[in-house]
Amino acid sequence: MSGIPARRVTRLLEQRLLSVVAAATAVILLVLFYYPVATVFADAVLEEGGFTLDPIISILTNEFYLVDIIWFTAKQAFYSTIASLALGLPAAWLFSRFEFPGRETLRSLTILPFVMPSIMVAIGFVATFGRNGTLNRALSVVGLPPVELLFTLEAIIVAHAFYNAPLVARIVTAAWESVDARTVETARSLGANPRRAFRDVVLPQLLPSVGIGATLTFIFTFASFPIVLALGGFQLATIEVFVYSKVRDLAYAEAASLAVIETVISLTLTAVYLWYEANQRAAGGAASPLPRQSVLPADWTPKAALRTVGIAGYGIIIGLVFIVPIASMVLASVTGGDGGFTLSHYAFLVERQATGASFQVKPLPAIWNSLVFAAGTLLVAVPMGVTMAILTTRQYRGRGLINVLSMAPFAVSGIVVGLGLLRGLVFGVDVFGTRIRVTGTLAIIAAHSVGAYPFVTRNVAPLFSRLDGRLVESARSLGATRTRALLDIELPLVWTGVVAGAAFAVAISIGEFDSTIILAEGSGSYTMPVAVERFLGRRLGPATAMGCVLLVVTSMSFVVIDRFGGRGEL
């Protein structure tokens, strides 16, 4: 008897699950994103209570801001996007089309640059590409003249590729792996050669994901700031550098105006991209992925040999851009002031853990907090992201707007969100005479989820839009609820995208800095990247040791996600 109401409740919940998650998403977005951002942007358009466009106009009519700053920012973002695609697409090809030992693990680790604190990347790049760096030492061994790469536009672009090529690779790999082999077989059986089959069948299915990778890379590098300052210097300042600088100077009207201009450009691009994506519908499922080939060909035809040489050459470039900077950091963590081997930096971490004062940063709580926040973000951001993916691939009026609004967390700079949180929710907002404050663990997880869920959405939505709508319809006509159809039919078909999105969610959470440090205000809620920054000083050692701890802990998390998620059955 008692089982029936319970089943009814379950069924009711099942019917309403999507709406409930969507409503929760909207509330979290409003409280932790739109409200804080609005409070900052208000500074740009409000003056003594009245509406004004003066601050924005004065920037747009200033040749210095327009040409030297905004145009330069767009230019470096464009070059960075090209470089990231050039470096990331071959990786996607390798991961999705080839079989080699350690492929799975390597693929899991491609996301690692995302969690590397930018200061660590800067240190690694100086050690690799600097005057006395690895590259110049290697060049001098083979008798080539040294290159001056640091403090140039090129240095910024290479560093941006380090951060964003893995993003491109991961998103495109997920799409490539969900291409149905049968569609290619059909084309081949109809007489298309492999190149033609790729161009007409595979490429159209990959283009949306390439577009996402390129759009995201442009937006991120458009809002780049620590890397620009660390590797380019102030000569090559971007908009974001100026936003930060104005915030420090409490010149909020100017900071907000610059941020508004930055956001409008990013959001416009996003909207243009989403419009393109919506017109890129291709039918097909993902039941049987394309078979993978071995890296080493079975028989050495000239063509196969050329391909293997190409892959090897790519491997060398990858090594230089990705592995050497990270290896330099690992090396620095075991090198003493005199250049010899030492474990004293790790000993410092142990000592700090044992004897540090309560108000000092310790390694173990940092690890623990990072993992707790990441797990929380995973639980919140994945349902949020999947729900938004469903909402944005359905047909209804205003879908485009919802789509752009749900992507907005990408397009607004971290400094603006951080400042908005600080000025509003952290200090408290008077609502009907009560001061409401939002801080603590749950707030941090919610803020991380706001930053992370669009990744889930962008990884999953293209796959959703490619699903055959009739599958869901027939399931529903057979009596399945919307949620049941989602869990049993749709999710297994888009699972590669969900796993890729989940890995991003964890990476965003672990790497996030601005809102973490603001929402953790004065409490013990510091994370691993915060600890890295705190341990920086005259001697690099302790910070690099903490950086290595960050690398090890997060590498393990990513491998676990990919392995666990890779099973694919829900």
User: Min. distance of Cβ 122 from another protein in angstroms?
Assistant: 6
DSSP 34: I
Q: Which C-beta is closer to another protein: that of 279 or that of 434? A: 434
Q: Which C-beta is closer to another protein: that of 395 or that of 434? A: 434
Instruction: Write out the two tokens for 317.
Output: 């470039």
Site for another protein in 436-475 (CB under 8 A): 436-443, 445-446, 449
Span of 175-183, 358-366, 463-471, 489-497 interacting with another protein by CB under 8 A: 358-366
- 50 beta partners: 47
Site for another protein in 44-103 (CB under 8 A): 64, 68-69, 72
Among 16, 103, 307, 423, binds another protein (CB under 8 A): 423
Q: Indicate the burial class of 492 (C-beta count within 10 angstroms; 0-12, 13-18, 19 or more).
A: middle
Q: Which C-beta is closer to another protein: that of 150 or that of 463? A: 150
Among 4, 316, 432, 569, binds another protein (CB under 8 A): 432
Q: Count CB neighbours of 27 within 10 A.
A: 11
Q: Which C-beta is closer to another protein: that of 428 or that of 566? A: 428
Q: Which C-beta is closer to another protein: that of 4 or that of 250? A: 250
Cα separation of 347 and 341, whole Å? 13
User: Min. distance of Cβ 127 from another protein in angstroms?
Assistant: 6
Cα separation of 509 and 452, whole Å? 7
The site that binds another protein (CB under 8 A) totals a number of residues, namely 78
3-state secondary structure (DSSP) of residue 62 = coil
Site for another protein in 172-191 (CB under 8 A): none
Return the ∠ at Cα 446 (arms to 401 and 113), rounded to 5°. Answer: 90
Among 131, 137, 196, 199, binds another protein (CB under 8 A): 131
Name the nearest CA neighbour of 43 among 57, 55, 31: 55
Span of 233-241, 319-327, 461-469, 551-559 interacting with another protein by CB under 8 A: 233-241
132-to-150, 320, 323, 328 alpha-carbon distances in Å? 11, 15, 18, 13
Site for another protein in 382-411 (CB under 8 A): none
Site for another protein in 208-227 (CB under 8 A): 226
Give the HSE-up count for residue 15: Cα atoms under 13 Å, Cβ half-sphere: 6
> Residue 199, interface with another protein (CB under 8 A)?
no
Among 119, 158, 417, 528, binds another protein (CB under 8 A): 119
Cα separation of 558 and 532, whole Å? 20
Among 17, 18, 28, 149, binds another protein (CB under 8 A): 28
User: Min. distance of Cβ 153 from another protein in angstroms?
Assistant: 11
Q: Which C-beta is closer to another protein: that of 206 or that of 419? A: 419
Cα separation of 289 and 149, whole Å? 42
> Residue 435, interface with another protein (CB under 8 A)?
yes
Site for another protein in 135-174 (CB under 8 A): 150-151
Q: Which C-beta is closer to another protein: that of 13 or that of 442? A: 442
φ/ψ of 190, rounded to 5, equals: -85, 5
Give the HSE-up count for residue 477: Cα atoms under 13 Å, Cβ half-sphere: 6
Instruction: Write out the two tokens for 51.
Output: 């509406």
Residue 119 backbone class (left: φ over 0; alpha: ψ -120 to 50; beta: rest)? alpha
Q: Which C-beta is closer to another protein: that of 51 or that of 432? A: 432
Site for another protein in 315-354 (CB under 8 A): 337-338, 348
1-to-11, 14, 552 alpha-carbon distances in Å? 16, 21, 53
Residue with tokens 């007489």: 191
Site for another protein in 514-553 (CB under 8 A): 517-518, 521-522, 534-540, 542-543
User: Min. distance of Cβ 537 from another protein in angstroms?
Assistant: 5
DSSP string spanning 306-323?
A: HHHHHHHHHHHHHIIIII
Among 237, 260, 417, 498, binds another protein (CB under 8 A): 237
User: Min. distance of Cβ 499 from another protein in angstroms?
Assistant: 24
Site for another protein in 258-317 (CB under 8 A): none
Q: Which C-beta is closer to another protein: that of 51 or that of 359? A: 359
Q: Output the CA torsion sign for 108, 418, 391, 481.
A: positive
User: Min. distance of Cβ 426 from another protein in angstroms?
Assistant: 9
Q: Which C-beta is closer to another protein: that of 241 or that of 417? A: 241
Site for another protein in 6-25 (CB under 8 A): 24
Cα separation of 523 and 520, whole Å? 6
Name the nearest CA neighbour of 258 among 493, 91, 416, 398: 416
Residue 69 backbone class (left: φ over 0; alpha: ψ -120 to 50; beta: rest)? alpha
